[in-house]
């Protein structure tokens, strides 16, 4: 069984939920990751194909600049049909991250349809027109709906008969390396202590005023920001001598940066774009051994805040107070007790376990569809025989 995945996120952007799940899927199946188009002047529609590790292939539609929306969908529909034939993709799962792919996948015939809903995309800045309608069509077509957090699950569970909660998981072995790394990356080594850090996409979901407020209240503290700037302008970023923007880093590099932080930050704004988020970085910070402070994002408060694993604050003053608490001298016994609590919680989940549970649901959905098809075929045969008699 092959998998063809339709994503609004590019594989080489930030290593997150799609990469964790589908890299595991690719160990057992061919996975074709169909990204959103790239537009260039004067070109003929084509697909740029990039094979990756294991059985993973990245497919990027290349379309001419200025192509109308209807022609865009038609072009991708044609490219996809040829792509399926060229790669002998006959029995496959259609896996959606973007409902907008429904505009050009209406003629495919997958063995099952999966919607892995990791965000409320309609609440994001620049959400495309028609997204809500496309998602409604995807709910109708889907056999399974996975949600990336408790809030999303509660929002979507009444819209489909088979919605399943799979919150952000963790590669503990990868991030726990930070607990023993002693050498700083060169560009971080020159930054003084104490260090407060954030890693992830830097966009409209962050409370930039909170960051600026912290930097102003404690100019001797250093704030390290790792990640790409997306959908906001560089001029929107608060510029202070103690805020350091180090840009995006490879997934493999992240533990070495986190190892040098005193406190990790989840400084999310409270707005529509963060209402349903479940930050993957929460368990990653904890696995790295970092104390973490977050604004009251629902899927961080539940369960991390309620269990005392992450401190919760709303304002710059709150973050300063909570940071000072973490920076205060703590006994080795207290720190060991904190890490034991963290490790006991993180032991409940892993990306391997998440993928295995998802795979079992997909197998069941395929079998159910096969049984239904055989039943319908048998009914048709009986009807045809009766008519002939």
| pLDDT tens readout for residues 247-297 | 999 999 999 999 999 999 999 999 888 999 999 999 999 999 999 999 999
| pLDDT tens readout for residues 91-135 | 999 999 999 999 999 999 999 999 999 988 888 877 888 999 999
| pLDDT tens readout for residues 224-236 | 999 999 999 999 9
Neighbours of 134 (CB within 10 A): 20
- Phi and psi angles of residue 164, each rounded to the nearest 5 degrees, phi first: -130, 135
The CATH number corresponding to 2-169+354-378 among 3.40.50.2000, 3.20.20.100, 3.20.20.70, 3.40.250.10 equals 3.40.50.2000
| pLDDT tens readout for residues 329-361 | 788 999 999 999 999 999 999 999 999 999 999
Whole-number Å distance between alpha carbons of 228 and 14: 8
Is pLDDT of 194 > 60? Answer: yes
Whole-number Å distance between alpha carbons of 337 and 358: 33
Query: Residue 382's pLDDT is what?
Result: 55
Which residue spans of the chain are classified as CATH 3.40.50.2000?
A: 2-169+354-378, 172-334
pLDDT classification of 381: cutoffs 50, 70, 90? very low
Domain 172-334 CATH class label? alpha beta
Is pLDDT of 374 > 80? Answer: no
Mean pLDDT value across the chain: 94
Q: What percentage of the chain reaches a pLDDT higher than 90?
A: 88
| pLDDT tens readout for residues 58-100 | 999 999 999 998 899 999 999 999 999 999 999 999 999 999 9
Is there a contact between 173 and 180 (Cβ–Cβ < 8 Å)? no
Nearest by Cα to 20 from 221, 133, 207, 167: 167
Query: Residue 380's pLDDT is what?
Result: 58
Nearest by Cα to 175 from 299, 20, 329: 20
Query: Residue 273's pLDDT is what?
Result: 87
- pTM, entire model: 0.92
User: Worst-scoring range by mean pLDDT, 24-33, 126-135, 334-343, 376-385?
Assistant: 376-385
Is pLDDT of 298 > 80? Answer: yes
């Amino acid at each position: 069984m092959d998998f063809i995945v339709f994503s609004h996120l590019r594989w080489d952007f930030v290593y997150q939920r799609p990469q964790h799940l589908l890299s595991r899927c690719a160990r057992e199946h061919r996975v074709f990751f169909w990204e959103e188009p790239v537009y260039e002047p004067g070109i003929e529609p084509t697909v740029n194909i990039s094979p990756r590790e294991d059985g993973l292939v990245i497919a990027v539609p290349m379309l001419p600049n200025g192509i109308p929306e209807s022609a865009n969908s038609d072009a991708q529909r044609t490219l996809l049909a040829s792509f399926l034939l060229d790669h002998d993709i006959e029995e496959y799962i259609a896996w959606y991250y973007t409902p907008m792919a429904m505009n050009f996948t209406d003629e495919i015939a997958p063995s099952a349809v999966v919607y892995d809903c990791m965000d409320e995309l309609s609440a994001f800045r620049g959400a495309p027109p028609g997204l809500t309608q496309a998602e409604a069509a995807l709910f109708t077509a889907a056999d399974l709906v996975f949600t990336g957090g408790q809030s999303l699950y509660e929002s979507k569970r009444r819209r489909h008969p088979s919605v399943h909660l799979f919150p952000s998981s963790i590669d503990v072995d990868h991030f726990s390396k930070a607990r023993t790394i002693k050498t700083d990356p060169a560009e971080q080594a020159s930054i003084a202590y104490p260090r407060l850090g954030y890693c992830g996409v830097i966009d409209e979901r962050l409370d930039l005023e909170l960051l600026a407020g912290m930097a102003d209240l404690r100019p001797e503290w250093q704030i390290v920001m790792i990640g790409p700037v997306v959908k906001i302008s560089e001029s929107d970023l608060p510029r202070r001598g103690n805020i350091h923007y180090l840009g995006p880093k490879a997934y493999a590099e992240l533990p070495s940066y986190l190892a040098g932080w005193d406190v990790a930050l989840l400084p999310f704004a409270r707005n529509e774009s963060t209402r349903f988020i479940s930050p993957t970085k929460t368990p990653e910070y904890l696995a790295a051994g970092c104390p973490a402070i977050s604004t009251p994002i629902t899927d961080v408060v539940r369960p991390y805040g309620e269990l005392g694993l992450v401190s919760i604050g709303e304002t710059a003053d709150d973050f300063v107070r909570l940071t000072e608490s973490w920076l205060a001298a703590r006994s080795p016994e207290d720190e060991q007790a904190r890490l034991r609590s963290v490790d006991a919680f993180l032991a409940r989940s892993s990306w391997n376990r998440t993928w295995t549970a998802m795979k079992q649901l997909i197998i069941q959905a395929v079998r159910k569809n096969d049984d239904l098809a055989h039943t319908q075929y048998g009914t048709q045969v009986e009807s045809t025989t009766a008519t002939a008699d």
